[in-house]
Structure 1
Amino acid sequence: MSFKVEPVSSPKSVLGEGPHWDEGTQSLYYTDIYGKEASILRYDYNENKVYSATIDGEPVVSFIIPVANQTDQYAIGIGRRVGIVQWDGVSPKAKLGPICFDVESDKLSNRFNDAKADPVGRFYGGTMRLEELGDLFEVAGGTFYRYIKGEGVKDLLHNVHCSNGLAWNEKEKKFYFIDSIKFDVKEFDYDPKNGNISNEKVVIDLSSNGKNPGFVPDGMTIDAEGNLYVATWGGSKIIKVDPKKGKVLLEIPFPAKQVTSAAFGGPDMDILYVTTAATDRDGEQPPLAGHLFKVTGLGVKGLPGVKVRV
């Protein structure tokens, strides 16, 4: 296999995260969770250009998901809240509108992390303790939630350290989830009728004999063949995993230490877009750290992001 990893002309993110490919606009949306100059970003494929916007009063934005049946509204994670912003995708300012829901009023030290919509548009996302409060290995204080419009919020998983990668295999009725501190990828049976998940099992253990392998698994996406692509915080790579065999099929190296997440996109859904971070918490970073990357030549296609119904 001959694949190519290239940086996209993009701003350098402190903590680039949560890529979501919108097929209708041929755009990749993502966030810079702790960025000073940009909180939400849009890469326009046709223009090969990234637009960014800030939201007054909201310095931390953990995810962005386009809202179903809307052209300029997005669900975003702001602390322990999920709100709706209005953005034309170009202007340097986005306007915060209504708050859809919030969680954990008794846990002021927590925030939402990764979130996505399932194949029918239900919201799934989880929380974690704020990084500045200490080592995430110490506290499993997060919860993983589902939100259905008209029904409200339901907690699905408890005692989560760092709620991270999510992916669905609709054909196989499987859901995949990463709690970064566990160094593994878990699989659940997924009921598309009600969105419930059950029968948890580990499909691949990425630890080194039960110990830290030198990275933690971060965000994740899935291709049309059912293989998973796991980003590695501290590992400078994306790991392609066959969840049925529990086997690593491929490692894709990046000139960035903190590889945070991935999503397939492009007109043919065959480009893997990858976000990275340039945070200096872990020492000096490579020059290209924090930029958006694209991987071509993988010989597979992915699935477009699903808009959320909130």
Structure 2
Amino acid sequence: MMPNILKTRVCSNDAASSASRSWPAVISMHQVKFGGSMLSSRTGVIENRRSKLERMQTIALVTNEQHAATLYISLPEAFIEKKKTLVKLSSKQQGTDQKRAARQRKVLMAGNWKMNPASIKEAREMAALLASSLRTIAQDKPGFDVEVVVIPPSPFLHIVADVLSGTVAKIGAQDVHPESKGAFTGEVSTGMLMSMGVSYVLAGHSERRNLFNESDAVVNKKVKAVLASGLSPILCIGESKEEYESGLVKDVCSKQLREGLVGVSAEDLQEKLVIAYEPVWAIGTGLTATPAIAQSVHSYIRSVIKEMYSPEVANAVRIQYGGSVTPESVDELMTCPDIDGCLVGGASLVAEKFSRIFSYQAPPPGSPEKLYASEVVPCGCTLGESVVWSEAMQSLFWVDSVGQALWSWRPSEGTGTSKPIRWKLPEVVGCVALQESGDLLLGLQSGIFNFDLTAGVARKLTDFERPLDTRPNDGRVDRFGSFVVGSYNNAHRQDGAEIGGLWRLNPDGNMQEILDYKFRCSNCVCFSPDGLTMYFTDTPTRRIFAFDYNPAGKLSNRRLVYELPSSISGGPDGAQTDAQGHLWVCLSGASRVVRLEPLTGAVEAVVELPVTSPTCCTFGGPDLDTLYITTRGPDGGGLYCVKMPPGIRGIAEPMFAWSAVQHGSSCAAPEGKIGPARWSRASDNQGESWMSASSRISQGMDEVKLPRRVTSTNGLLSISSDYQTKPAWLTSGNSSQASRFCADCGHAHTTLTAKFCTECGAPRITLYGQ
């Protein structure tokens, strides 16, 4: 019998998965206190962060009949401190209409008849049918709270107003002259419109701009004239097809908005004025911007107003969408949080269609929640990938795979953010990962490299799957400090060959293949909060699998989590899990990221993007409540983000740590194996100059002036320090600081000085200074 044995048992994630495990569940949320030091029992090998490992004597993991892990520890005067970790599942969030109501923005649906119909008789009939629909809705839906506006041609204004009297509908005019009276043949004044019961007036409609050459200055005069009369202008802005295809959407909308609002007070903008975004390329063509495209522009318009006026004004102003809205498209458009109604063209000429539009339906109960991502860094990556969040540096790192670049950006709190930084790499890069030392791991075409951000030194650690025509692709650090990276067959689109492997770089330097079959294109590498489940896909198969993850062995117990429906194009790309264990998967080619329930595969939320191919995602920000998403060209390439609903956030990104080596910029990596190749002990004879800053720094970036010439000595690619140093935030992570989140359960520490997690009892980890 072993002396001083202390025994405890922890049930694994859930009964369903536990029942099928063939190896002992790994304890990750128990702490061992020994001699005043907290020991984290993570993998069956207890790691002592403050005491020497040799003070530990015996550790064993066994499995009992309930498939729970039992930990035996033989330590003098040892005892276990255990606290149950509760994971609070978020309830279904409020619907988009409720969110919009909380912001006090009433939905406005306006029908612009343009130069239709042909006669007073037809106008009266159209109005009568619409009035009948409005009366029916008033009876059947007493809570109906949508503002309906009909905008007929000027000769029919009084007729339509008479027919619609007694309903909730209001009348709008298609145009107005900025002067109140005078010799202006064919024009109408605000006074004339008011006498006919008009409430709204269009200003700056694309057809007035294009056909009658109305400038922003003329539009601004009309806006101010309408406001002065007490009426409400609907200021129309939007880009042409040529401007859209040239990527000038934001530039055009910003210019038209700023010049159209010259001299408009915050009070008038907040209480009277409405903005209508109309992508000109979609008007009258039957084309429509996707809801994600529309939302991204609406969000940008609101941000411009916030900059021009204030957050309160920006939050109050109503923004309509006006791009060939139909009954078939309106329901999804109205799920967008920044779309407050529609300016409807052709569909408003048919009473039945317009009625279906202004009586749009909210998503049925049980439908996935819709979220919409906006671009935050227009970095223009050819293939953005592998985004990770460094808690210590409060910064994001990601790569442009085909564009051969490493990116970094620090989103600051408040209104300002730092400028992004780019390093040019010598070859295709698949992934980036964090290290506790403050260095990065890079998976390049020729192998895995260590990159010292502070010294500017890159060292090749190992080749990768030579002599195969593969490279590292998707990779993440697991919850136990090892780096797991999958392969990519460079020719898989031509030969379809399954030749790549899934590898784990352990802290002791050993490289281990952990999957018992080969594949073409690895993706979705991520881990459950407790680290006991790993997710993986071979993208061309369009299926995502979960595996039992043994940090000391191979993957086992493969089971299907999700398969893309045939109606959805593309395939699963990068993925990440949140603190509740749900899986967020980028569906490249489908313009969305989905949140999956890990046991059933049910889609619980959808993040829509205005670009075709999201590629990778992770949680970041001070509270880990923002999902950051990389994308690829040709229509994408920027970094996007979306704020999570209350109750959903991520877990701090794990970091790789060498266990037996004082790993620094001048020290060799430990020896290990990867197939037939051995670790490159600084013997990589690559002498090319690389890791220098890109010769072309995109507008708005911080320029990190690294030298143009890089020398190679014994395989170390060194960078001179004779140039401007990097921003302080990029290197500040090398000083000791306490982690804000528990490394075991992801719970936020309650105070800056807390030593242990209040949820699971784990010791607080000190980053970069241990």
TM category (shorter chain) comes to: 0.7 to 0.9
1:104 aligns with 2:465: yes
Q: Is the 8 A contact 2:381 2:633 kept in 1?
A: yes
Q: Is the 8 A contact 2:486 2:502 kept in 1?
A: yes
In structure 2, which of residues 466, 471, 475 is the aligned counterpart of residue 115 of structure 1? 475
1:220 paired residue number: 575
Q: Is the 8 A contact 1:126 1:142 kept in 2?
A: yes
2:422 paired residue number: 52
Q: Is the 8 A contact 1:122 1:195 kept in 2?
A: no
Q: Is the 8 A contact 1:80 1:127 kept in 2?
A: no
CA distances 1:157-185 after superposition (whole Å, capped 9, x unpaired):
23211011111114372111121112111
1:165 aligns with 2:165: no
CA distances 1:8-52 after superposition (whole Å, capped 9, x unpaired):
13311000000101111111110001116xx11111022343111
1:294 paired residue number: 641
Name the SS for the 1:243 alignment partner: coil
Question: How far apart, in 2, do the equivalents of 1:190 and 1:67 lie?
Answer: 21
Residue 150 of structure 1 and its aligned partner are, at CA, apart by: 2.7
1:189 aligns with 2:565: no
Q: Is the 8 A contact 1:143 1:159 kept in 2?
A: yes
Amino acid at match of 1:303: I
Aligned pairs for 1:17-32 (under 5 A) are 17-32=385-400
Show structure 1 runs of 5+ residues with no match.
89-93, 280-284
Q: Is the 8 A contact 2:443 2:473 kept in 1?
A: yes
In structure 1, which of residues 300, 304, 310 is the aligned counterpart of residue 652 of structure 2? 304
Which structure features the higher share of strand residues?
1
Name the SS for the 1:308 alignment partner: coil
Give the superposed CA RMSD: 2.0
Name the SS for the 1:267 alignment partner: coil
Show structure 2 runs of 5+ residues with no match.
1-92, 97-370, 659-770
Q: Is the 8 A contact 1:77 1:112 kept in 2?
A: yes
TM-score (norm 1): 0.86
In structure 1, which of residues 42, 51, 62 is the aligned counterpart of residue 430 of structure 2? 62
Name the SS for the 1:83 alignment partner: strand
Question: How far apart, in 2, do the equivalents of 1:142 and 1:175 lie?
Answer: 18
Name the SS for the 2:518 alignment partner: strand
Question: How far apart, in 1, do the equivalents of 2:553 and 2:565 lie?
Answer: 30
Q: Is the 8 A contact 2:624 2:651 kept in 1?
A: yes
Residue 87 of structure 1 and its aligned partner are, at CA, apart by: 2.1
TM-score (norm 2): 0.36
In structure 1, which of residues 87, 95, 103 is the aligned counterpart of residue 453 of structure 2? 87
| Equivalent residues, number | 284
Change (3 A) 1:242 1:136: farther
Amino acid at match of 1:104: E
2:50 paired residue number: none
Question: How far apart, in 2, do the equivalents of 1:113 and 1:105 lie?
Answer: 15
Q: Is the 8 A contact 1:174 1:189 kept in 2?
A: yes
Residue 240 of structure 1 and its aligned partner are, at CA, apart by: 0.9
Name the SS for the 1:135 alignment partner: helix
CA distances 1:57-115 after superposition (whole Å, capped 9, x unpaired):
x23121111222x23x2110111410111224xxxxx84532222231121x2111011
Name the SS for the 1:63 alignment partner: strand
1:8 paired residue number: 376
1:245 paired residue number: 600
Q: Which has the higher contact order (CA 8 A, sep 6+)?
A: 1
Q: Is the 8 A contact 1:17 1:62 kept in 2?
A: yes
Change (3 A) 1:297 1:163: closer
Residue 4 of structure 1 and its aligned partner are, at CA, apart by: 4.3
Question: How far apart, in 1, do the equivalents of 2:510 and 2:531 lie?
Answer: 27
Change (3 A) 1:241 1:234: same
Residue 207 of structure 1 and its aligned partner are, at CA, apart by: 4.0
Over alpha carbons, which structure has the higher Rg?
Answer: 2
